[in-house]
């Protein structure tokens, strides 16, 4: 699928829109979801301009999943979560709403998941959760 470089995550990557970031390197960015399905809901995105996981270069996918694991470990330490749902929606039919490939890390169990991309979260609370995750990443 053709990549739209005006999508929200592309604009976050370019610094045109704000995001509550927890991790960044030259290939990947992790930041808090603005409409969390559970407290601590974090997104991990490769910087490569791919729409879905199917479009992403295998090397970028492999590296991104390493960071997904690293951020998940920090979330476990920082937020005391017992389980994390890893969600990846590829394609609008699958429910993807932002056309830049991303991995959802949702600290909950599937039975307690809030509705997807539906309700704006308390941004101050989200910032506090991000600080805890960042501290755990720094200490790892």
The answer to whether residues 84 and 74 touch, using CB atoms and an 8 Å cutoff, is no
**Whole-angstrom distance, CA of residue 45 vs CA of residue 67:** 9
Q: Is 33 in the site for ligand 5GP (CB under 6 A)?
A: yes
Rounding to the nearest 10 degrees, give the CA dihedral for residues 85, 91, 93, 97.
Answer: 70
Please pick, from the candidates 13, 23, 31, 50, the single residue that binds ligand 5GP as defined by CB under 6 A. 31
41 is catalytic: no
**C-alpha gyration radius of the chain:** 14
The residue annotated as part of the active site, out of 41, 100, 102, 104, is 102
How many residues lie near ligand 5GP (CB under 6 A)? Answer: 13
Please pick, from the candidates 3, 24, 27, 35, the single residue that binds ligand 5GP as defined by CB under 6 A. 35
33 versus 64: smaller Cβ distance to ligand 5GP? 33
Q: Is 8 in the site for ligand 5GP (CB under 6 A)?
A: yes
The answer to whether residues 28 and 45 touch, using CB atoms and an 8 Å cutoff, is yes
Category of 40 on φ-ψ map: left (φ > 0), alpha (ψ -120 to 50) or beta = left
Single out the segment in contact with ligand 5GP by CB under 6 A; choices: 25-33, 52-60, 65-73, 78-86: 25-33
Active-site residues, by number, are 102
Binding stretches for ligand 5GP (CB under 6 A): 8, 19, 31-35, 89, 95-98, 117
């Amino acid at each position: 699928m053709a990549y739209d470089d005006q999508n929200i995550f592309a604009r976050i990557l370019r610094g045109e829109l704000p995001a509550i970031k927890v991790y960044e390197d030259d290939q990947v960015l992790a930041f808090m979801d603005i409409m969390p399905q559970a407290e601590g809901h974090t997104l991990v995105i490769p910087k490569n301009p791919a729409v879905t996981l199917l479009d992403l270069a295998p090397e970028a996918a492999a590296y991104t999943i390493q960071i997904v694991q690293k951020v998940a470990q920090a979330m476990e330490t920082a937020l005391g979560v017992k389980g994390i749902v890893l969600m990846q929606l590829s394609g609008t039919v699958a429910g993807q709403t932002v056309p830049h490939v991303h991995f959802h890390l949702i600290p909950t169990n599937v039975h307690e998941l809030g509705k997807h991309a539906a309700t704006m979260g308390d941004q101050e609370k989200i910032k506090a959760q991000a600080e805890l995750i960042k501290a755990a990443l720094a200490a790892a």
